Amino acid sequence: MPADATPDLYADPLAFGQRMQILRTRRGMSRPVVAGLLGKSPSWVKQIERGEIGMPKLPTVLRIAELLRVRNLSDLTGDQSAPVDLFIGPGHPRLPEVRDAVNALTLNTVRQAPSAEHIAARLATAWAARHRAARHREVLGELLPGLIRDAQLTVRQADTAAERRAGQAVLSEVYSLAQFFLAYQPDSALLWRVAERGTVAAQESEDPHAIGVAAWLACEAHRDAGHFEAAEAVAQEALGFLADRRAEDPKVLAIAGALEAGAGFTAARRGEAGAAWGWWDRAQVAAQALPVGYYDPITSFSTAIMGAHAVTVAVELRAGGESVRQAAASDATTIPSRPRRARHRIEEARAYQLDGQAETALATLERAYEAAPETIRYNGFARRIVLEETESRIPAHRQRAAVLAEQLGMLAA
């Protein structure tokens, strides 16, 4: 291998520090940024990466893994004997059915396709069911195969350009719904394929809302993969496209606000506090301009969600005290969606753990589990907190974390 080539995490016996440096560089994060987000000095990061300091203890390793969005802990530690998935959850039993529907071509189907209006009505029912359900992936896994096949057929059998555009708009939204099911499951290639198909369908539809939703989900996927520059570029381009259209329709305004909030999360994950809160301010303006009581069924964007977004910004910036203050100021009970409420509880738990309140963090994760078990089971941040607290020196914390670990399926052989 050439001397200037990047070592392969999977082929070379690399030390912890080397792995950390490779993963940090791939994320485009400088040592000072990583140090600041870890509460360490840049010299400490440099010493770790050079091997002058050995691998830190588990809590610090887990926080590094979270910061660098390490999918499997062995990618960072090099220990392949006991791989631990952090940001990839278990495969849902209905994953094969959804995968088969995505892969189907519907070339030889002779039945009459449903209208775009019919698909749109089923989509509205599916979104509502998802928000009500504690086990929302089970609900989506049951509905998606039929929706995907029917929406594909609607586009194939469209007779006019207008019908085809309408079909592409609902097909794009079906793919958006599928991304909520596929996120953090062990088939990343399928998730990206669905995201790309949704983006193409949205562009073919020429529908501003469909294009905005596809862009928002693309930003989420890029950020979760650590592609921060791509997430920022997509958000900026989509917001530019929607700039003259956001006043025309609350749905378009809501997706623009969601894109602004998401841009804030991306900036926060890069350690850019000023930019992060600036984006939050812009999203707050959008939320306040929405009709009273409006709640977007796809992104959950609304006035009710802005407190939750503030918690996430503070947590991503690793500002423990500020994140706890934001958690205290937010009101999860105003969030009507069970999975979104559970996600907010997880963000609150991250805040409390950052602030050194481990017991409160575990209690908050228990509340997340009560709201939507299938949200917390697939959430890498929750899994990291639970795993860390199973190593706590306080017996009560270890016991509480062990119960959660069993509920989340983390103790399975």
| Residue 369 burial (10 A CB sphere; 0-12, 13-18, 19+) | buried
In order of 53, 111, 133, 210, 290, the CA distances from 242 in angstroms are: 49, 37, 32, 11, 15
Residue 3 confidence class, pLDDT cut points 50, 70, 90: very low
State pLDDT tens for residues 391-410: 888 999 989 999 998 988 87
Q: Which of 1-15, 93-107, 214-228, 240-254 has the lowest mean pLDDT?
A: 1-15
Cβ–Cβ under 8 Å, residues 383 and 408: yes
Max Cα–Cα distance, the chain, nearest Å? 68
- Dist. CA 318–CA 38, nearest whole Å: 7
80-84, 245-249, 406-410: which has the minimum mean pLDDT? Answer: 80-84
- pLDDT computed for residue 83 by the predictor: 58
Q: What percent of the chain has pLDDT over 90?
A: 62
pTM (2 d.p.): 0.83
Predicted pLDDT at 275: 97
Give dist(CA 141, CA 62) in Å, integer: 31
- Residue count (the chain): 413
Query: 359: which residues sit within 8 A by CB, 6+ positions away?
Result: 396, 397, 400
8 A C-beta contact, residue 334 and residue 326: no
Q: List, for residues 262-306, the tens digit of each pLDDT value.
A: 999 999 988 899 999 999 999 999 999 999 999 999 999 999 999
Rounded CA gap, 35 and 95, in Å?
A: 39
**Domain 16-77, what fold?**
434 Repressor (Amino-terminal Domain) (1.10.260)
Domains of the chain: which residue ranges? 16-77, 92-206, 318-413
